[in-house]
Structure 1
Amino acid sequence: MYQRDFLEQVRAQLTVKEDPAKLREKVFETSSGIPLKNSYTPADLADHDPLRDLGAPGKFPFTRHVQPTGYRGRLWTMRQYAGFATAEESNARYRYLLEQGTTGLSVAFDLPTQIGMDPDHPMALGEVGKVGVSISSIHDMRTLFRDIPLDKVSTSMTINAPASVLLALYLAVAEEQGVGWDKVSGTIQNDILKEYMARGTYIFPPRQSLRLITDIFAFCADQVPNWNTISISGYHIREAGCTAAHEIAFTLGDGIAYVQAALDAGLKLEAFAPRLSFFFNAHNQFFEEVAKFRAARRLWARIMKTRFKTDDAKSQMLRFHTQTAGSTLTAQQSDNNIVRTTVQAMAAVCGGTQSLHTNSRDEALALPTEQSAMIALRTQQILAYESRVADVVDPFAGSYFIESLTDELDARAAALLAKVDDLGGMVSAIEKGFPQREIQNAAYAYQKAVEKGEQVVVGVNRFAISGEVKPDLLRVDEALGETRRRQIAAVRANRDQGAASACLAALSKAARGTENLMPLILAAVKAEATVGEICDSLRGEFGEYQEHLVL
């Protein structure tokens, strides 16, 4: 990019010498351990080629954005994550958020639903409706989306192991509304690999889970063309404590595994790859986060072009949703979380996200109140309509610092992916504990830094105050579990039991073969089989995954 003699002049004249004794920190570095210089110059981009490494927005390698006009044509989708207690209460919250200007819904399910258990299961005791909405049957899904037209609203569902069941419920309700499946849009997370390494809401072993995922790919490619069939999630990997470089590498490593599984199942790349989406964390270190999003887009485009040999632009694009970092929120001085969320959200916007959820200030203490959810949404709206940060595509392009950081994150993530390849791919790497160890080590290092005061957390290990008054919190009624147990008993008592049993038996039989399971799951939910019953039918054939201790 620059001539050698010019770079020598830059190094000679623009290098700043520092006295270590006068610096406020011994080491300046990013979360990924990338050393930070005093300042950056053209010498830091000696090998940088704007045509090769950046390109134009909307063109390979998509470093700058997946759309040529960025947000100048359309703003990102403001998708607030919500769901608690009953379908009735969550429906009221959704309609409130839509009235306040949310442009997409994002459903949070409670823990029993996430692991495919009905509210009357013994292990559901004390967990029903606590971290999300309790959904067990088509009756619940009808209520959840009552008076919400599913051809007008894009819905994301954070569901993984039983994703096929919740998608089937959603499609059945759309059908009841008279909405054709070609008019339905949204996303299911459906990313089981990150559950094994970071989150834990798995049911079936990895290879059986991959079968369900590829069945969804094939079914939606044919029947639900505007649905994003997976949201490959680095968010929870980052929440577990990894670095930005890990987040890129392990997310894209999971993506590679899903693409390969679909190809091995006989699907054509261009039939499913354009509907892949990703889900990233927006963390605290602003510049590293902007560079992370840019590096991830470029690396994925390169993977699709070189590894999977596609020149189809839509298959090369990395489209992603972002959520601000829940793990950075503090119970102490919870209003500080508004500031943290704003900084993180701006990084996501400057990095070119396609949709965004901003966390609420009280989420370190409880599910967000209605007022807290509104402030979180208003944060996005102020960024969109008042700050003007959305007016220019990739505003940091060409910055010596940002381009250098983008290149370094790209290189570090690629090196981690090479290690995954050496271990036989992501499924084998998870079975051998490689990503789990990397995440654990990074989380431990961060926690030690906090405890030593080397990493400042405002209001926690510095600038604390005494006698703090806790804010009003949203509380879920403790009687909810018993209410839901009665409701699910009524569903079973009043349905056509013969039809439900026949559908469950047909699903079990099909699970022993190779046919696509989605049509059978759809038939089961329409016959009022419950989420737990459907998952139990599959448990009986697939077995359950048992976590291995990783040292």
Structure 2
Amino acid sequence: MLATFNQLNRKRGASMSEKKFKTLSGEEVKACYTAADLSSKKTTDSEIPGQYPYTRGIHSNMYRQRLWTFRQFAGFATAKETNERFKLLLSKGQTGLSVAFDMPTLMGYDSDHPRAEGEVGRCGVAIDSLADMEELFQGIPLDQVSTSMTINGPAAIIWAFYIATAEKQGVPSEKLSGTIQNDILKEYIAQKSWLFPPKPSMRLITDTFAYATRHVPKWNSISISGYHIREAGATALQELAFTLADGFAYVEAGIEAGLDVDDFAPRLSFFFNAHMDFFEEIAKFRAARRIWARRMKEKYGAKKERSLMLRFHTQTAGCSLTAPQPENNIVRTAFEGLSAVLGGTQSLHTNSMDEVLALPTEKSATIALRTQQIIAHETGVTNTVDPLGGSYFVEALTDKMEAGAERYFEQIDALGGVIPAIEQGFFQKEIAEAAFQYQKEIDEKKRIIVGVNDYIEDMAMDMPLLRIDPAIEEEQVKKVQALRASRDNEKVEKALRELQAEARGTENLLPPLLEAVRAYATEGEIASTLKEVFGEYREQPVF
């Protein structure tokens, strides 16, 4: 047995010496880096954290002053069950809430819609109306907790539910803090949960920008998301470039809608993926800050310092988790979370080891939260700002990520911008090719995934999984139907008619949306009303 082990190690040693070392984005990695590998124009020798262009971080003291927000993503079954999970996580030291919605909610369908059958409460919480949102946050004071909501097509509707829930608690909108994802462009690119065509969707987004600026000033009105682009198969470089391109498109849309860039840009935030190529991920985060700051200042004329600061949430890579040997995912998540912290994230979600198999159990969710707490309190990485700044390797990677992103921006501009590039299938083709190449490397063992294509063990999995009771769907269906029977339906119909009339015009849609929500119109009813004006979107096939 020992002889076999030694032979195996010699074989692996030989293959390592012949290997070409590359990042996950395909960038060749040298054996050693020196000052000669740095771009003389982009050296960070004289850069200080907290100063333009923020390569080294947006705050001078970073985590010495305040740790990132521990924001674990949670949501399953009904509002009642998810409320209990929220309270559990808060009791264990979580410092912000992040809501996962089920597929019908993401797609703008009520739980009793035929297309919702079999999906209610499965991959997140079912929210059909203001009544569900009230139950979701029962006993959780919304002026004392920051909430992030991952939803895009019906984001304005769900945000209206949240604002109205706060009103019911006696919390004015000026005191609310949090983030609504509201990033429809990456839906057309990657995740595919849209409701309307691009133009009216962009109108709803700029309406939320304007409403947040005037009435919910502590709220991030969009979280421009590279996470789902990466989960669809993009490389780190593609995630960086495509996400920032989307961000520039939103800035331009806001300016075209008549908003001053410094009125809404300070509340734009980003959402990135942290994958397994440790140093490339750190370089990606550093490059993102630098690119954003320079573009906002030099192209869009932003003057406020906060308009130039790229603030971001990070989630560890769900697509990096493996079903074989799922306990290995704890280790993967720890390294990915560490890369996000070393890259300067403002909030972080660490995935649970069982998420590749089912929604997390209480135990696995607790382990994932403890992973963040160990990084924060035991590793020492929070003691100094940008501890890898000045590393020849990290600085060279940061420069290369920036240069690669700029090349993508030129390609997108040549196609007429983000929306024309979406319509021509540019992003979809790029991501599909990257995903194919990555899988090919795994199949050919050019890239080792422990427990999947090497170090394999023939062992039965023995892990408890969270199961969603099918009775949950029946309960939620009865609940939404009972709501329709008990509310003032004349008031609902009047509010929906007024919303539709406003949708045919040009005024901000948040005020009539809120009126419909306060009347207890359901998400599906509001979405259907808007579809009658805006129409629906069908993606062109890409070959």
CA gap 1:441/1:22 in 2 versus in 1, 3 angstroms: closer
| Residue number in structure 2 paired with 1:339 | 331
CA distance in 1, matches of 2:423, 2:295: 23
* Per-residue deviation, 1:49: 4.8
| Residue number in structure 2 paired with 1:139 | 131
Give the 5 Å matches for 1:362-381. Answer: 362-381=354-373
Give the 5 Å matches for 1:479-498. Answer: 479-498=471-490
| Residue number in structure 1 paired with 2:150 | 158
Contact 1:274-1:314 within 8 A present in 2 as well:
yes
CA distance in 1, matches of 2:509, 2:437: 43
| Residue number in structure 1 paired with 2:7 | none
Question: Does 2:16 correspond to 1:27?
Answer: no
1:325 alignment partner, one of 312, 317, 323: 317
| Residue number in structure 2 paired with 1:47 | 40
| Residue number in structure 2 paired with 1:281 | 273
* Per-residue deviation, 1:485: 1.2
| Residue number in structure 1 paired with 2:498 | 506
* Per-residue deviation, 1:309: 1.7
CA gap 1:443/1:54 in 2 versus in 1, 3 angstroms: farther
| Residue number in structure 2 paired with 1:67 | 59
CA distance in 2, matches of 1:105, 1:54: 38
Q: TM-score, normalised by structure 2?
A: 0.96
Question: Does 2:98 correspond to 1:106?
Answer: yes
Give the 5 Å matches for 1:119-198. Answer: 119-198=111-190
Q: TM-score, normalised by structure 1?
A: 0.95
Q: Deviations over 1:474-500 (max 9, x none)?
A: 000112222111111100000000000
| Residue number in structure 2 paired with 1:116 | 108
Contact 1:333-1:468 within 8 A present in 2 as well:
no
Give the 5 Å matches for 1:117-516. Answer: 117-516=109-508
| Residue number in structure 2 paired with 1:549 | 541
CA gap 1:364/1:23 in 2 versus in 1, 3 angstroms: closer
CA distance in 2, matches of 1:22, 1:87: 53
Residue 150 of structure 1 aligns with an amino acid whose one-letter code is L
* Per-residue deviation, 1:54: 6.3
User: Residue 71 of structure 1: SS of its match in structure 2?
Assistant: helix
* Per-residue deviation, 1:26: 2.4
User: Residue 398 of structure 2: SS of its match in structure 1?
Assistant: helix
Contact 1:54-1:61 within 8 A present in 2 as well:
no
Q: Deviations over 1:437-478 (max 9, x none)?
A: 110000000011111111111111111111322310000011
| Residue number in structure 1 paired with 2:83 | 91
Residue 22 of structure 2 aligns with an amino acid whose one-letter code is E
* Per-residue deviation, 1:22: 7.5
CA distance in 2, matches of 1:146, 1:519: 24
CA gap 1:335/1:23 in 2 versus in 1, 3 angstroms: closer
CA distance in 2, matches of 1:548, 1:362: 35
Contact 2:104-2:126 within 8 A present in 1 as well:
yes
* Per-residue deviation, 1:105: 0.3
CA gap 1:202/1:44 in 2 versus in 1, 3 angstroms: same
CA gap 1:119/1:50 in 2 versus in 1, 3 angstroms: same
User: Residue 306 of structure 2: SS of its match in structure 1?
Assistant: helix
* Per-residue deviation, 1:312: 2.0
Contact 2:262-2:303 within 8 A present in 1 as well:
no
CA distance in 2, matches of 1:22, 1:158: 43
Contact 1:72-1:392 within 8 A present in 2 as well:
yes
Q: Deviations over 1:215-234 (max 9, x none)?
A: 00000100000000000000
CA distance in 2, matches of 1:85, 1:409: 40
Residue 26 of structure 2 aligns with an amino acid whose one-letter code is G
Q: Identity of aligned pairs, percent? A: 56
* Per-residue deviation, 1:428: 1.0
Q: Deviations over 1:131-166 (max 9, x none)?
A: 000000111011100100000000000010100011
| Residue number in structure 2 paired with 1:11 | none
* Per-residue deviation, 1:45: 1.9
CA gap 1:349/1:210 in 2 versus in 1, 3 angstroms: same
User: Residue 441 of structure 2: SS of its match in structure 1?
Assistant: helix
CA distance in 1, matches of 2:461, 2:345: 36
CA distance in 2, matches of 1:481, 1:106: 22
CA distance in 2, matches of 1:503, 1:518: 12
Contact 1:54-1:64 within 8 A present in 2 as well:
no
1:36 alignment partner, one of 24, 29, 38: 29
User: Residue 380 of structure 2: SS of its match in structure 1?
Assistant: coil
- For structure 2, the residue ranges without an aligned partner over 5 or more in a row are 1-12
TM-align CA RMSD: 1.2
CA distance in 2, matches of 1:97, 1:26: 44
User: Residue 71 of structure 2: SS of its match in structure 1?
Assistant: strand
CA distance in 2, matches of 1:208, 1:62: 34
CA gap 1:97/1:548 in 2 versus in 1, 3 angstroms: same
CA distance in 1, matches of 2:131, 2:98: 19
Residue 21 of structure 2 aligns with an amino acid whose one-letter code is F
* Per-residue deviation, 1:117: 0.3
Aligned residues: 531
CA distance in 2, matches of 1:210, 1:199: 17
